[in-house]
Amino acid sequence: MERYAWKAVIKPGMTEEYIRRHEEIWPEMKDVLRRAGIYNYSIWLSGNEVFGYYECLHGAEFAAKVQASSPIVDKWNEYMKDVMVMEMDPETGAQPLMKQVFYFT
């Protein structure tokens, strides 16, 4: 199991819409996340910034590959681009991996 974190910025005035879209996340998107081995997924809001965290059953690289090859993820990213700005790694097509600097168990 690997932990993965990402961050993004919600566009001005779009916070409620961002929340609404996640409250109504598509079942097909949930299926892709499950196939990718993603679980314990949460997104946190601070002002107009969001921070996402999830755990990868088969590792972050596997999760990224499954998501990168999914037309559902492409459709979701297109659907979300009017409400948020997210940096993407040109090599992986996913959010850049954040460096973990502390972990407490």
Q: List the chain pLDDT tens, one digit each, 105 residues.
A: 999 999 999 999 999 999 999 999 999 999 999 999 999 999 999 999 999 999 999 999 899 899 989 999 999 999 999 999 988 777 766 777 788 899 998
> Does residue 69 form part of some domain?
yes
Cα(68)–Cα(103) distance, integer angstroms: 28
Residue 92 pLDDT: 67
> Does residue 96 form part of some domain?
no
Cα(30)–Cα(88) distance, integer angstroms: 21
> Does residue 102 form part of some domain?
no
> Does residue 101 form part of some domain?
no
> Does residue 99 form part of some domain?
no
> Does residue 91 form part of some domain?
no
Domain of residue 25: give its range: 2-85
> Does residue 97 form part of some domain?
no
Q: How many domains does the chain have?
A: 1
Cα(76)–Cα(72) distance, integer angstroms: 6
Active site residue 22: yes
Among 65, 48, 49, which Cα is nearest to 7's?
A: 49
What CATH number is attached to the domain comprising 45?
Answer: 3.30.70.100
Q: Helix, strand, coil shares of the chain as percentages rounded to 5?
A: 35, 25, 40
> Does residue 76 form part of some domain?
yes
Burial class (CB in 10 A: 0-12, 13-18, 19+), 17: middle
Question: Of the listed 22, 30, 34, 75, which one is catalytic?
Answer: 22
